[in-house]
């Protein structure tokens, strides 16, 4: 729209008696205004989304804010919702084991999710929810500025990379994307491994690649 067209629209609104123009996206402040994790958390807490009303706690992120590795999960489960922290349930215990096996623990990584609230009944986040939170996830990653992002599971991989390819195809291969300087490693979700323990070996291999990458850069 050029200036003249904008003026015409405003004149038309004025003739109609419109005195206020509603912000059509009032819950989504400009990402540019956010320059710290505290501001990001505050902005995310204001997002008006139905799942928030069924959740007990918002689960933002935890760990080392200067970490080289950021782990990106899907959404909080029941235990995470109760405690307000990511990966503190059964999946988290498996994750801790694999981190320990490559010489890491939660003080050396940063962990967050695509969604900060638990979807009712632990359902998979839907397309609208993912689209709403993706800009916040990108901001979260840029504030931590890790060398590596590990996407845990198909949902976080698809959400971040905006791909329809499945995790079976993508896991274990480094990927890059515009706007993020970190290398991205898609791997399995620990909850999937609890159901399909035979894939644990692949999960472990993917994390070995992460360790290799980090040691090369340090």
Q: Which is nearer to ligand URA, 19 or 136 (CB)?
A: 136
Q: Which stretch binds ligand URA (CB under 6 A): 4-12, 80-88, 139-147, 162-170?
A: 80-88
Place of tokens 């007990």: 56
Token look-up 């840029």 returns 142
Given 113, 119, 146, 167, the residue binding ligand URA (CB under 6 A): 113
- CB nearer to ligand URA: give 64 or 113: 113
Q: Which of residues 86-105 bind ligand URA (CB under 6 A)?
A: 86-87, 89, 91
* Structure token digits, residue 87: 């990966």
Residue ranges in 141-200 that form contacts with ligand URA under rule CB under 6 A = 191
Q: Phi, psi (5° rounding) for residue 198?
A: -65, -20
Helix-then-strand count for the chain, H and E: 9, 6
CB of 118 to ligand URA, least distance (A): 9
What residues contact residue 63 under an 8 Å CB cut-off, 6+ apart? 106, 107, 108, 109, 110, 111
Main-chain dihedrals φ then ψ at residue 60, nearest 5 degrees: -90, -70
We find the least distance from the C-beta atom of residue 197 to ligand URA, in angstroms, to be 17
Binding footprint of ligand URA on the chain (CB under 6 A)? 73-77, 80, 86-87, 89, 91, 113, 191
């Amino acid at each position: 729209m050029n200036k003249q067209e904008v003026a015409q629209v405003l004149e038309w609104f004025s003739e109609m008696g419109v005195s206020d123009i509603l912000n059509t996206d009032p819950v989504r402040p400009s990402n540019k205004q956010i320059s710290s994790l505290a501001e990001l958390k505050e902005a995310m807490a204001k997002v008006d989304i139905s799942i928030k009303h069924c959740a007990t706690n918002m689960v933002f992120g935890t760990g080392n804010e200067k970490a080289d590795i950021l782990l990106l999960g899907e959404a909080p489960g029941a235990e995470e919702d109760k405690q307000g922290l990511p990966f503190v349930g059964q999946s988290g215990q498996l994750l801790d084991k694999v981190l320990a096996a490559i010489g890491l623990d939660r003080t050396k990584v940063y962990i967050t999710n695509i969604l900060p609230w638990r979807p009712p009944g632990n359902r998979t986040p839907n397309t609208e929810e993912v689209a709403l939170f993706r800009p916040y996830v990108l901001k979260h990653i840029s504030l931590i500025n890790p060398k590596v992002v590990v996407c845990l599971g198909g949902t976080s991989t698809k959400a971040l990379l905006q791909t329809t390819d499945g995790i079976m195809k993508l896991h274990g291969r480094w990927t890059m994307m515009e706007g993020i300087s970190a290398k991205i490693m898609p791997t399995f979700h620990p909850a999937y491994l609890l159901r399909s323990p035979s894939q644990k070996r692949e999960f472990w291999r993917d994390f070995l690649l992460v360790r290799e990458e980090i040691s090369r850069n340090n």
